[in-house]
Amino acid sequence: MNRFAIIKKYAKNFGDEIAEILLDEHPQILAVVLSYLDKTTFNYIVKKINKDLMVEIYFRMLNLKKVNSEILDILENHFENKFKRFENFEIIDNTYQNVTEKFVELDDDKIMKLLNSIKNAEFKNKIIDIIKQKKPDIVI
């Protein structure tokens, strides 16, 4: 069973937000979650954690016993609920076309409001680039 797949699923495109959400968790929870992640996702998340907290998490990981599957199920459900908001921004074939198509259909004021609500700078900039291609007269 691929535990915490939801984190891996969104970490590539929403890594900063995922790390931010994870950092709100207790170090023991982080130790459990990180112990189940693949190397790439693990490394990405770890880069976002300050060194003092990471030392504590590593210590907890080293002393981690087998975690009951029911507890893991509860944790996975917890994170799936937290990350549901990313489902609306899923990226197909590493493009932002499907999201941007919806943006372009809106009037310029609504486009600006939506753009201003996006926290992920990389995601926002890619959407802006595509919008400018489809609506060259828009002022962003």
10 located within any domain? yes
Mean pLDDT of all residues in the chain?
83
Structure tokens at 2: 């691929």
Compute, in degrees rounded to 10, the torsion defined by CA atoms 66, 4, 56, 62.
30
Q: Rounded to whole angstroms, how far apart are CA atoms 85 and 43?
A: 23
Whether residue 59 is predicted with pLDDT greater than 90 in this model: the reply is yes
Highest mean pLDDT among 77-81, 89-93, 135-139: 77-81
* Nearest alpha-carbon partner for 104 in 73, 79, 136, 72: 136
Whether residue 77 sits in one domain with residue 130 = no
CATH number for the domain including 76? 1.10.220.30
Determine the straight-line distance between the first and last CA of the chain, rounded to whole angstroms. 45
pTM above 0.75, yes or no: no
Whether residue 82 sits in one domain with residue 37 = yes
Read off the pLDDT of each residue in 76-103 and give the average, rounded to a whole number. Answer: 69
List of residues 6+ apart from 101 with CB closer than 8 A:
none
Whether residue 64 sits in one domain with residue 9 = yes
68 located within any domain? yes
Whether residue 14 sits in one domain with residue 83 = yes
Number of domains in the chain: 2
pLDDT in tens, 103-119: 677 788 888 888 888 88
Whether residue 46 sits in one domain with residue 10 = yes
140 located within any domain? no
Whether residue 128 sits in one domain with residue 82 = no
Whether residue 116 sits in one domain with residue 51 = no
**Domain range holding 9?**
5-89
25 located within any domain? yes
139 located within any domain? no
Helix (H, G, I), strand (E, B) or coil at 95: strand
